[in-house]
Amino acid sequence: MEKIVFVCLGNICRSPMAEFVMKDLVEKAGNESKFLIESRATSSWEHGNPIHSGTQTKLKEQKIAFDLHKGSQKISSEDFYEFDKIIAMDESNLENLRKMAPEGTRQKIAMLLEQGVPDPWFTGDFQETYQLVKTGCQRLLDEIV
């Protein structure tokens, strides 16, 4: 089983979007039993808060199922051992993850896309975020299967 965790700053916009986009792609490919897909934050600023309404709206528009009760959760030391791939949304997330990573786990950390995915919390552009997340998730899935 391939275990993937997507990580952004607050775990309310980009990483949950990537989590549910990837789950949708995996399900459509008939591979859901081969994957464990989750998302986390690098900070605890949004701890327990639900997925941002902009992300929810975009997922609904695309008819992608998501967990309405999912709350923001910060990545833990255990997560670095639990997951096979730890996928950062931008350079700042990547840098923070590398600092947080226990010895011997840094090789699991990578960017979703080389150029990163801008944070719609700041840009307000959930459409751009969705397009980049979908592209990155499809590439990641293609690499794995």
**Separation of alpha carbons 53 and 2, rounded Å:** 29
Residue 132 vs residues 27, 69, 112: alpha-carbon distances, Å: 20, 25, 9
Strands 109-111 and 2-8: unpaired
118 near 90, Cβ under 8 Å? yes
54 near 125, Cβ under 8 Å? no
74 near 42, Cβ under 8 Å? yes
13, 14, 79, 137: the catalytic one is: 14
**Separation of alpha carbons 126 and 17, rounded Å:** 10
- In the residue annotation, 40 being an active-site residue is answered as no
8, 40, 79, 137: the catalytic one is: 8
Residue with tokens 């999912």: 70
13, 90, 119, 137: the catalytic one is: 119
- In the residue annotation, 119 being an active-site residue is answered as yes
* Catalytically active residues, by annotation: 8, 14, 119
